[in-house]
Structure 1
Amino acid sequence: MAPGHILGKRYIIIKRIGQGATSIVYKAEDTKLKRFVTVKVLKEEFANDEAFIKKFTTEAFAVACLSHINVGMVYDVCEEDNLHYIVMEYIEGYTLKELIEKEAPFSQERTIDYAIQILAGLKAAHEQNIVHRDIKPENIMVTEDGVLKVKDFGMAQIVTSSTITLTGDAVGSVHYFSPEQAKGRPVNKTTDLYAVGIIIFEMITNHLPFESDNHITIAIKHINDPIPKPSQYNSLISKTLEDIIIKATNKVPELRFQSADLMSDALKKALITPDTVIPNLSSKNIILDNPLSSTIYLDKQTTEFIRNQEKNSSPAKKEILGSFTRLTAVFLGMAAAIGVIIGVITSYILFGNHIPDNSSQKMAAVPNLIGRTFEEASAIATEDSFIVTKIGEKESTKVKEGTVLEQIPMVSVPALRNSTINLIIAKKPEDVTVIVPDVINLNNADAQKLLEEVGLYFTLTREYSDYIEIGKVINQTPKGNTKAQQRDMVTIVVSLGKEMPYIIMPSLYDLSLEQAENTLKAYELVLGTVTEKESEKPEGVVIEQDIVPNSNVDPDTVINISVSIGRKNLLEDLDNTLDAPLNDVTRQEIEADIEEILQELDAQDDKDNNNEIITKSYTIKLPETLQDNIENQTYQVTITFQTDVGEQTLFDKIINIDEFPYTLDLTGIGSGILTIYFDSLAWQEEMFSF
Structure 2
Amino acid sequence: MEIKAGMKIDNRYQVVELIGEGGMANVYLAEDIILMRPVAVKVLHEALAKQERFVERFRREAEAVASLIHPHIVEIYDVGEQDSMYFIVMELLEGKTLKEYVRQKHFLSVSETISIMRQACQAVELAHKNGIIHRDLKPQNIFIKEDGTIKIMDFGIAYQQEASPLTQTNAVMGSVHYLSPEQAKGENATVQTDIYSLGIVMYEMLTGDVPFTGESAVNIVLQHLREAIPYVSDSNMHIPQSVENIVIKATAKNAADRYKNLAEMKVDLDTCLNVERMNEPRIFFEPSEEELEIPEVSSDVTESVSNIKPKKKKLVFLTGGLAVLIIAILIFLGSFLNSDVLVPELVNKTEAEAKIALELAGLKLGKVESIPSDTVEIGKIIKADKEENTKVKKEETINITVSKGKQIKMPSITGIMQAEAEDILVNQGIKYKIIKGKPLNGEAEGIIINQSVAEGMNILISTDEVEITVAENEEIRLENLEGYFLSQAKSYASERQLELEITEDFSESVAENKIIFMPDYWPGKTVKIGDTIKVVVSKGPKPVEIAKPIENEGEKPKPIEEDAPIVSSRLRGEG
Task: Tell me the TM-score normalised to structure 1 length.
Answer: 0.41
Which structure is higher in helix share?
1
Which structure is higher in strand share?
1
Task: Tell me the TM-score normalised to structure 2 length.
Answer: 0.49
